[in-house]
Structure 1
Amino acid sequence: MSESYNLATGKQLIEEICKSDFYPQFIAQIQKDLNRAGMDHVIKSEKPRQLFSEIASLLLEKLHNDFNEFLNLLYAVDVSEKEIRQLDSESSINIAEYVTYLILKREWQKVWYRNRG
C-alpha cells in the first residue's frame, strides 16, 4: 500500500462525503464515469458506507476478469498515475481497496470543485 493510505483513510473520506449535501451528485458522477468506462454496473449502495465495499468488489472482479475495463475506469475518472505508482502491494484485495479510495477521492474532488462557489 501507499504510505499515505490505509483503510481508515477511505472511511474518513466516506464520512466527509456523508456530511455533505452533495452525496447525490457524487453518486451520479461515479455512475457517469462507470458508464464512460464501459462498465455495465449500476450503483446499488443506498448507504454511503456500503459504497466503498461495492466499488472495491467491482474493481476486484475487474482485476481478475476484465483488466481493460479496470484501466478504462481509471482513465474515465482521471486517477493520478503518480498515486497509482505509489502502490506497493501485489495483493489484488489491497489493490482494489487502494484504487477504490483513489477513485472516490477523485470523484469527490470533481463534485466539490463544481459546487464550491
Structure 2
Amino acid sequence: MNFVAPLNTIQLLSEAEKENLYSKLIDQINKDFNFANEAIDFPQSTSPDELKVQLHEKVYRLIQYKYTELLNLLYIIDVPEDTVKQLDGSDTVELSEQIAFLILKREWMKVWFRNRY
C-alpha cells in the first residue's frame, strides 16, 4: 500500500485512528515538539478533535510570540520550507491552521512509513 497524503486534518486523523497509529502520531508530535524545546505533552487520551484544536492554538501562539522558534520547529519536523512560503499569511488564524495541518501531515508521514517499513 502506497502512502496517500491526506487532504485535510479530519481525514488525516481518521486515517491514523483507522490504522491504529493514532497513539504513535501523538508520541511523534510530543517527541518533535519537545526536541525543539517547545514543551507540549498531549496525553494518549487526547481525542482527535482536541488534538486538532490544541495544536492549532499552539501554532497560533508561536506565530504571534515566538516566530523564530516556530521556524526551528518546522525545520526539526521537516516541513518543507517552500510549502510554508506558499501559504497566505494575511490571516494569522487561517495561517496557523494551515501550518498545524502541515505539521500533522509530516508527522503522520513519519509514523506511517515507520510502521510500514
- TM-score class, shorter-chain normalisation, is 0.7 to 0.9
CA distances 1:23-45 after superposition (whole Å, capped 9, x unpaired): 11111110010011111222256
TM-score by length of 1: 0.86
> What SS is found at the alignment partner of 2:8?
helix
Deviation beyond 3 Å, 4+ runs, structure 1: none
Q: CA deviation at 1:9?
A: 1.8
Provide the residue aligned with 2:86 in structure 1. 86
For 1:18, the aligned partner's letter is E
In the alignment, structure 1 segments of 5+ residues that lack a partner are: 1-7
* Distance (whole Å) between structure 2 residues aligned to residue 64 and residue 40 of structure 1: 17
Q: CA RMSD in A?
A: 1.5
Task: Specify whether residues 49 and 20 from structure 1 end up closer, same or farther in structure 2 by C-alpha distance, changes over 3 A only.
Answer: farther
TM-score by length of 2: 0.86
* Distance (whole Å) between structure 2 residues aligned to residue 10 and residue 64 of structure 1: 22
* Distance (whole Å) between structure 1 residues aligned to residue 80 and residue 87 of structure 2: 12
CA distances 1:55-85 after superposition (whole Å, capped 9, x unpaired): 0100111111111221111011100112112
Indicate if the aligned counterparts of 2:77 and 2:107 stay in contact, CA closer than 8 A. Answer: yes
* Distance (whole Å) between structure 2 residues aligned to residue 88 and residue 65 of structure 1: 19
* Distance (whole Å) between structure 1 residues aligned to residue 106 and residue 42 of structure 2: 17
Aligned residues: 110
Percent identity for Structure 1 against Structure 2 = 37
CA distances 1:77-101 after superposition (whole Å, capped 9, x unpaired): 1001121122123111011100000
In the alignment, structure 2 segments of 5+ residues that lack a partner are: 1-6
Stretch of structure 1 that moved more, 73-82 or 104-113: 73-82
Q: CA deviation at 1:103?
A: 0.3
